[in-house]
Homo-oligomer: A and B are copies of this chain.
């Protein structure tokens, strides 16, 4: 049955977002919860998801039949309200889209999420990596529309990645394809949460931006005066958006810091181009809010690092279009398309 909405859930490190998503990718309702702390039981995370889905089902029923005050839950069968539930999780998902193998920000280790949720919710459930969900959304409805071979990079605290080829997410043999952020770009470089050194995400991410900004503030150099003042004024300390704002306001050091992240972004994109040769890259995530301050230097270093430049066609590098909604839109649409 086409035309029915699907529910997309995006489980991030700090919040769980849910949305009722139409089959054209537009959002009818959206809700949000705080992500349970990583030390809580897997059951708490499960209960959070179930609560979000049930509230979205109530919203879907009210859309169909109008509000029914005083009643909790729905009286319509769930599968008459939505077609499927898609989960995008910040973690490693098995290639059969059933199990979250490992989620660093949650308490999941080999969590059979599909089975448990489907039993409770009586709806088809598909689990995916959050970066896969976002990449799928940009490919279907966003900046990657029409490109048969697309890579999406999500620049947040770390780096998320996904690859769509001929209308299919490339999951790899064990479900772990697209972990571009853990490609080593500097031998013996900065330590990464994955246990290695020199991973790309230690050089081209929000974490890298803040580390470098702090390093220059620590030098007490006059060039860091504005950043230093910003950091001192904010109880939470320096954040990525603060650096971006300083760069937008013309601060040269902030602009250079973002430019350096952009240069490393370009290095990694050239590495990905060597490996999988996409037709385009879509760059999303919080850091991408810096726009051309980031993407300009990225394109420049990409062109400098691309093997065979001058003898070959080159992929486009574009800003994502769907912002924070990409995760829920993609999770819902991936679930819907898995039904077909």
The residues of A with any CB-CB pair to B shorter than 8 Å are 92, 101-102, 109, 147-149, 161, 163, 165, 170-187, 192, 194-196, 199, 267, 270-280, 305, 307-309, 311-313, 315
Contact = CB atoms under 8 A, between A and B. Distances in A.
A102 B195 CA distance: 40
Given A173-B279, A173-B315, A274 B308 contact: no
Contacts of A194: 307-308
Given A170-B276, A173-B278, 10 more contacts: A102-B311, A102-B312, A176-B274, A178-B277, A179-B307, A184-B267, A194-B308, A196-B305, A272-B275, A275-B276
10 contacts: A92-B311, A92-B312, A102-B311, A149-B173, A161-B275, A176-B312, A177-B275, A180-B275, A183-B275, A186-B187
Given A184-B270, A312-B92, A307 B199 contact: yes
A277 B307 contact: no
A174 B312 contact: yes
Contact of A179 (B101, B275, B279, B305): B275
A13 B194 CA distance: 40
- Copies of chain A in the complex: 2
A274 B194 CA distance: 11
A183 B271 contact: yes
- Which label, helix, strand, loop or mixed, suits the secondary structure of the A interface? loop
Contacts of A165: 170
Contacts of A186: 187
A249 to B, nearest CB: 31
A267 B267 CA distance: 17
A35 B277 CA distance: 29
Nearest to A193: B307
Contacts of A175: 277
A204 to B, nearest CB: 13
A271 B178 contact: no
Contacts of A180: 274-275
A181 B275 CA distance: 9
B187 A92 contact: no
Contact of A312 (B101, B272, B279, B307): B101
A277 B186 CA distance: 21
A298 to B, nearest CB: 15
For the complex of A and B, the 6 pairs showing the least CB-CB separation, nearest first, are A172-B277, A173-B279, A182-B307, A149-B173, A177-B277, A194-B307
Nearest to A187: B186
Contacts of A183: 183, 271, 274-275
A277 B171 contact: yes
B92 A173 contact: no
A309 B192 CA distance: 13
Given A308-B92, A309-B195, A172 B271 contact: no
Contacts of A171: 277
Contacts of A309: 195
A187 B190 CA distance: 14
A190 to B, nearest CB: 13
Nearest to A196: B305
Contacts of A196: 305, 307
